[in-house]
Chain A
Amino acid sequence: MVMVQTEDLCKSFGELHVLRDVSVTVQQGEVICIIGPSGAGKSTFLRSLNQLETINSGKIFIEEQLLLHRENNATIARAGKDDFKSLLLQMGMVFQSFNLFPHKTVLENITLAPQQVKNTPKAQANELAGVLLEKVGLAEKAGEYPSRLSGGQQQRVAIARALAMEPKIMLFDEPTSALDPELVGDVLAVMKQLAAEGMTMLVVSHEMGFAREVADKVLFMADGIVAEEGPPEVLFTNPQNPRTRQFLNSVLPQ
């Protein structure tokens, strides 16, 4: 099944065209890494998928159902209200800056959305949170406030928080780039495990090791377009587009 499909997504901020006809297809269970220079539109692309940004034009399909179709900054068609909501809930998002809720404990961070959005009973939400915390290796931190955790721990809680809504697609926007180098590994390990379990993942990241090991496909974005795409072993070793080559030269240790 095609989990995410976009057709000709365009997004501009005023005069600045950040996405220009981005068309991407993500199959179930695929892990896609998105790389590219700063300002290429990588974050904007992820944020357009889960509606943190509203596209100017293009189509978004989730699980082969139309979520939204817009042209010239006007909505042509969108899923019905309930479908729209449930399709959006198929996507979980992890942010570069974690964005944990500082006034809630780790446990409350994870159980809040299931209780509020899905009306999951508290006991059941707590149980699920326990399982997820175990999974990200932080079972003993349930009662802590986020400010008492390291960046790596916070990001793993953020992953558990997103997973608590039981999404089928996970969006990661530079999940490790705010972390001290020694904390990156724990977060990547959790992401690798998720990938191994068959989660569909869209990951903006410059962790080339992760991309090489886990990604099925790498997209190179520049100036609002997908300039090149391919399996990591091909794209990293034999890039066709000169921009890709230039970018890889600048980030890969020689």
Chain B
Amino acid sequence: MQGFFEWFQVGWDKIWGWMPALMESTAVTLELTAASVSTAVVLGVFLALGKINKNGVIRRLSAAYIFFFRGTPLMLQLYFVYYTLPDILHKLFDGSSLEFIATGPLSMQSRFFAAFLAFSLNIAAYLAEIIRAAIQSIPKGQMEAARSLGLTYGQGMRLIVIPQAYRRMMPPVCNEFVMVLKDTSLVAIIALMDLTFQTKQIAALRSSELVYIPAMIIYLILSGVFTLIFNKLEKKLAAHE
């Protein structure tokens, strides 16, 4: 018992020394989450529009995309984007006029970019269904009114339907954001210095297992704060209806 308190005391004192490193990696986690979710929302809107498109080919392509990204493990998608994709691009484009594709961020073995890409593509597949449901929940009369005024289908979607659907998809998208915040810890497998990987490094190198505690507290605070912000935001949007 005496030994435990001593061990804890010593470890706890060290926590403040780890703080700068933990903060830095927290920023990576936040950036990755924000960048991935916002990109996924845009991509998800296009996938949702694809799924309700009149053109059967576009509909099937969107469905296939969603099926693929929901039907394979995110971990493998991450490995694929980080390890396999650069090779493929080099084989395809090296020496050609499209070489910039192979030498761009995809091939730089940028861990952040690979994680960002894999997460965006994956989250988009999950958000697409939510966004499709939100778009289809807008009464048909809205698009009909837009069309009868001479707007194109695209204008009707962009100016009338999607802005209204946007309010309805806010709650599930915010929910997804908080989920992704924690799911990004998966990037440890490609050694991106996010909060989880940093914590693991500290634990291993400095042999201080206590570091898991502040790491979890940071995740908790982030989840709590964002949940709070999003709840406020939803109330504001709802009041506007």
Q: Do A and B bind each other?
A: yes
Distance in angstroms from B96 CB to nearest chain A CB is: 38
Which of these, A99, A116, A158, A162, contacts B151 with CB under 8 Å? A116
A65 proximal to B (CB < 8 A): no
Q: Which residue of B lies closest to A171 (CB)?
A: B148
In which size bucket is the chain A interface? 20 to 34
CA distance A109 to B164 in the complex (A): 14
Establish whether residues B147 and A85, one from each chain, have CB atoms under 8 Å apart when the complex forms: no
CA distance A118 to B144 in the complex (A): 18
CB-CB contacts below 8 Å: B140-192 with A? 141-142, 144-151, 155, 159-160, 163-164, 167
Question: Contacts A116-B155, A147-B241 hold; do A99 and B150 have CB atoms under 8 A apart?
Answer: no
Establish whether residues B150 and A102, one from each chain, have CB atoms under 8 Å apart when the complex forms: no
Distance in angstroms from B139 CB to nearest chain A CB is: 8
A165 proximal to B (CB < 8 A): yes
CB-CB contacts below 8 Å: B205-241 with A? 241
A89 proximal to B (CB < 8 A): yes
CA distance A42 to B241 in the complex (A): 33
Please name all residues of chain A whose beta carbon is closer than 8 Å to the beta carbon of B139 when the two chains form the complex.
Answer: 97, 99
Question: Contacts A95-B145, A99-B144 hold; do A113 and B163 have CB atoms under 8 A apart?
Answer: no
CA distance A112 to B139 in the complex (A): 19
Interface flags for A67-110 (1: CB within 8 Å of B; 0: not) read: 00000000000000000010011011101010111110000000
Please name all residues of chain B whose beta carbon is closer than 8 Å to the beta carbon of A118 when the two chains form the complex.
Answer: 150
CA distance A162 to B148 in the complex (A): 8
Which of A50, A100, A116, A117 has most chain B Cβ within 10 Å? A116
Question: Contacts A103-B164, A147-B241 hold; do A113 and B150 have CB atoms under 8 A apart?
Answer: yes
Please name all residues of chain B whose beta carbon is closer than 8 Å to the beta carbon of A51 when the two chains form the complex.
Answer: 147
A11 proximal to B (CB < 8 A): no
CA distance A52 to B141 in the complex (A): 10
Which of these, A50, A89, A99, A116, contacts B142 with CB under 8 Å? A99
Establish whether residues A116 and B159, one from each chain, have CB atoms under 8 Å apart when the complex forms: yes
CA distance A99 to B164 in the complex (A): 13
Distance in angstroms from A23 CB to nearest chain B CB is: 23
Question: Contacts A101-B160, A112-B159 hold; do A161 and B141 have CB atoms under 8 A apart?
Answer: no
CA distance A118 to B149 in the complex (A): 11
CA distance A92 to B163 in the complex (A): 24
Question: Contacts A99-B141, A102-B241 hold; do A52 and B148 have CB atoms under 8 A apart?
Answer: yes
CA distance A118 to B146 in the complex (A): 14
CB-CB contacts below 8 Å: A196-239 with B? none
Please name all residues of chain A whose beta carbon is closer than 8 Å to the beta carbon of B160 when the two chains form the complex.
Answer: 101
Distance in angstroms from B55 CB to nearest chain A CB is: 16
Establish whether residues B142 and A113, one from each chain, have CB atoms under 8 Å apart when the complex forms: no
Establish whether residues A165 and B141, one from each chain, have CB atoms under 8 Å apart when the complex forms: no
Distance in angstroms from B46 CB to nearest chain A CB is: 21
Establish whether residues A117 and B150, one from each chain, have CB atoms under 8 Å apart when the complex forms: yes
Q: Which residue of B lies closest to A118 (CB)?
A: B150
CA distance A113 to B155 in the complex (A): 10
CA distance A51 to B148 in the complex (A): 8
Establish whether residues B163 and A161, one from each chain, have CB atoms under 8 Å apart when the complex forms: no
CB-CB contacts below 8 Å: A111-156 with B? 112-113, 116-118, 147
Distance in angstroms from B185 CB to nearest chain A CB is: 38
Distance in angstroms from B100 CB to nearest chain A CB is: 37
Taking A51-B147, A161-B149, A165-B150 as given, write out 12 further A-B residue pairs in contact, using a Cβ cutoff of 8 Å, ordered by the A residue number.
A52-B147, A85-B150, A92-B148, A93-B145, A99-B142, A102-B241, A112-B151, A113-B150, A116-B159, A117-B150, A147-B241, A165-B149
Nearest 5 A-B pairs (CB), nearest first?
A113-B149, A99-B145, A99-B141, A117-B150, A93-B148
* Chain B interface residues toward A at CB < 8 A: 139, 141-142, 144-151, 155, 159-160, 163-164, 167, 241
| 12 A-B interface contacts by CB (under 8 A) | A52-B148, A93-B145, A95-B141, A97-B141, A99-B142, A100-B145, A101-B145, A102-B241, A112-B159, A113-B149, A116-B159, A117-B151
* Chain A interface residues toward B at CB < 8 A: 50-52, 85, 88-89, 91-93, 95, 97, 99-103, 112-113, 116-118, 147, 158, 161-162, 165
